[in-house]
Amino acid sequence: METKKMCLVLVTGSMDKLTAAGVMLSGAIADDYQIDVYALIHGARAFLKANADNPENLRMAENTDLRPEFEAALKRLNVKPWIEFFREAKQMGDVKIHVCGLAGKIWGGEKLEDFDPIVDDIVGINECITKLQEADIQVVL
């Protein structure tokens, strides 16, 4: 059986979309997908060590007026933090998390040690484009 591949590109760094991406990762891992995540622009910022476990450093929602409603819903439904979805997916299956070199530098992330330990490497945009071309499913958030 041929390996199913998913490429998830995170341009956003808002909690609502990072949470949605985490839920997608969980579903794809459960369906045995090989997954490459590329963190670009605000997505790269979310994976910085100072931000990954600190929701106060990230926007809660694309629509800031909905922040209180979104926070309340996450709490009421006992939804885990977005980064936990990513960590669990990496433990359960073949998930690689890549940070765009330029995006990392924009936010002061010059080296791998600047990012959460789940980040596998820092790459150029060409790798992201190649993986998008090869993937069975492409998601850009």
pLDDT-derived band at 36, boundaries 50, 70, 90: very high
Dihedrals phi, psi of 75, to nearest 5 degrees = -65, -45
The pair of three-digit structure tokens given for residue 11, joined into one six-digit string:
């341009």
pLDDT-derived band at 80, boundaries 50, 70, 90: very high
Mean pLDDT of 51-77: 85
**Residue 62 above 80 pLDDT?**
no
Q: What is the pTM of this model?
A: 0.93
**Residue 110 above 80 pLDDT?**
yes
> If we measure between CA atoms, which residue out of 4, 7, 33, 5 comes closest to residue 141?
7
CA triplet 99, 101, 106: central angle to 5 degrees? 100
Q: C-alpha distances in angstroms, 84 versus 67, 69, 93?
A: 20, 21, 14
Query: pLDDT value at position 68?
Result: 85
Contact between 121 and 98 under an 8 Å Cβ cutoff? The reply is: yes
Query: pLDDT value at position 1?
Result: 66
**Residue 61 above 80 pLDDT?**
no
pLDDT-derived band at 70, boundaries 50, 70, 90: confident
Domains and their CATH numbers in the chain: 4-140 (3.40.1260.10)
Mean pLDDT of 31-39: 97
